[in-house]
Amino acid sequence: MNVQPIGIFDSGVGGTSIWQELHLRLPNESTIYLADSKHAPYGTKSKNEIIDLSIKNTQLLIQKGCKIIVVACNTATTNAIKTLRNSFDIPFIGIEPAIKPAALNTQTKAIGILATKGTLSSELFHQTTDLYSNGIQVIEQEGEGIVPLIESGQLDSDEMKALLNTYMQPMIDANIDYLVLGCTHYPYLIPQLLDILPKHIKIIDSGAAVAKQTQMILEQHKLLNTGLQKPELKFYSNASPEVMASLLEGKYQVEKLDF
């Protein structure tokens, strides 16, 4: 069981930001990454659609022999992880916007969250925000249009810059000192965001925490790969293998797979 891969899925290429953290922390583990780019963005879909797509991705990863599943998508986690945990007998790790560290550390008592509509409207997101936002102003911003631009390889476009400027201005005006990236596609935008934001604003995401949590759960379930053979790193996309290969800086092969 231990040599079996970790399964990771996202609505597209964004979850590779989580995969990078996982691979850094757990270099001996084999991984299978599914980018469901054909159905991106998930962020504008209904809860039921997000659940159905998450079940489909999970079934494929289990069929490919995965021992644990990392839902590398805030939208899928906040809308579907409960159903996934109730439906499959395998451990799941999810990702949620890192509101807690931002809320605990803010000096200006104002924090910004950039996430999809699906995440911001979810029950799980509201529960977490209610728990930590006492006395703090939380500026929520939907990142409408960002994911489709990343999925079509327009990470560095003028259109992206214009969107980010529009989305950041109300947060800058509210004097936030923390910006929480609540979508796994967004860490790829950190260079552009640093150009826009005043220097004192810190950007945080949940990638490293997810990798740490995955390690802990693997240890708990005695699922860590203790074998010596080289791990296999597989990447599948059902729409844009070239965009994903370029985000991975051409270091890994991305296969096209219909799912």
Q: Which positions from 136 to 165 touch ligand DGL by CB under 6 A, shown as an x/- string?
A: -----------x------------------
Scan for tokens 């996202």, then name that residue.
10
Query: Using CA atoms, how far apart are residues 15 and 114, in angstroms rounded to an integer?
Result: 16
Minimum distance from residue 61 beta carbon to ligand DGL (Å):
16
Minimum distance from residue 7 beta carbon to ligand DGL (Å):
16
Q: Interface residues for ligand DGL in 58-77 (CB under 6 A)?
A: 73-75
3-state secondary structure 41-71: CCCCCCHHHHHHHHHHHHHHHHHCCCCEEEE
Q: Which positions from 25 to 64 touch ligand DGL by CB under 6 A, shown as an x/- string?
A: ---------------xxxx---------------------
**Cβ distance to ligand DGL smaller for residue 10 or 29:** 10
| Torsion angles phi and psi, residue 173, rounded to 5 | -60, -30
116 binds ligand DGL (CB under 6 A): yes
Given 7, 14, 94, 207, the residue binding ligand DGL (CB under 6 A): 14
125 binds ligand DGL (CB under 6 A): no
Residue 154: DSSP 8-state: -
Go through 223-238 and write b for each residue having 16 or more CB atoms within 10 A of its CB, e for each that does not: bbbeeeeebebbbbbb
Give me 128's structure tokens: 């977490």
Kindly list the strands in the beta sheet with 110-115, ordered across the sheet, starting from the edge strand earlier in the chain.
137-142, 110-115, 178-182, 202-204
Give me the residue whose beta carbon is nearest to ligand DGL: 43
Q: Interface residues for ligand DGL in 169-188 (CB under 6 A)?
A: 183-185
| Total residues binding ligand DGL (CB under 6 A) | 17
243 binds ligand DGL (CB under 6 A): no
Give which of 8, 193, 185 is closest to 93, Cα–Cα.
8
Looking at the annotation, which residues are catalytic? 73, 183
Could you list the beta-strand ranges (E) of the chain. 6-10, 31-35, 68-71, 92-93, 110-115, 137-142, 178-182, 202-204, 233-237, 254-256
Minimum distance from residue 106 beta carbon to ligand DGL (Å):
22
Q: Interface with ligand DGL by CB under 6 A: which residues?
A: 10-12, 14, 40-43, 73-75, 116, 119, 147, 183-185
